[in-house]
């Protein structure tokens, strides 16, 4: 009877350990999650921003989109220069 109790107690401890392990794994991020989020944001911005749209960049201020690419926009800024900017760093005006 004591041996049966010991086995039951060990099983309960193992079950508790497995529950704790499962709980800790619930919060693990999968490699690539962030890139999928960025791509979703780029796709959302592509519906709002087209060639000729006025935008504001975090780095350089307001400008006009003169090219749309897979991950970036080519922007002619009001300051008088042109460069490419990552889509997630640009917001529509």
pLDDT band of 18, cuts 50, 70, 90: very high
CATH class for the region spanning 2-92: mainly beta
DSSP 74: E
Domain regions of the chain by residue span: 2-92
CA 18 centroid distance within chain = 30
- Residue of 90, 59, 92 lying closest to 72 (CA atoms): 90
How high does pLDDT run on average in the chain? 89
pLDDT in tens, 55-70: 998 889 999 999 999 9
């Amino acid at each position: 009877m004591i041996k049966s109790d010991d086995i039951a107690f060990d099983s309960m401890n193992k079950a508790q350990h497995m529950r704790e392990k499962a709980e800790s794994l619930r919060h693990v991020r999968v490699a690539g999650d962030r890139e999928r989020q960025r791509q979703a944001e780029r796709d959302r911005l592509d519906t709002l921003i087209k060639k000729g749209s006025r935008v504001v960049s975090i780095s350089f201020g307001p400008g006009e989109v003169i090219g749309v690419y897979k991950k970036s926009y080519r922007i002619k800024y009001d300051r008088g220069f042109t460069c490419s900017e990552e889509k997630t760093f640009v917001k529509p005006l």
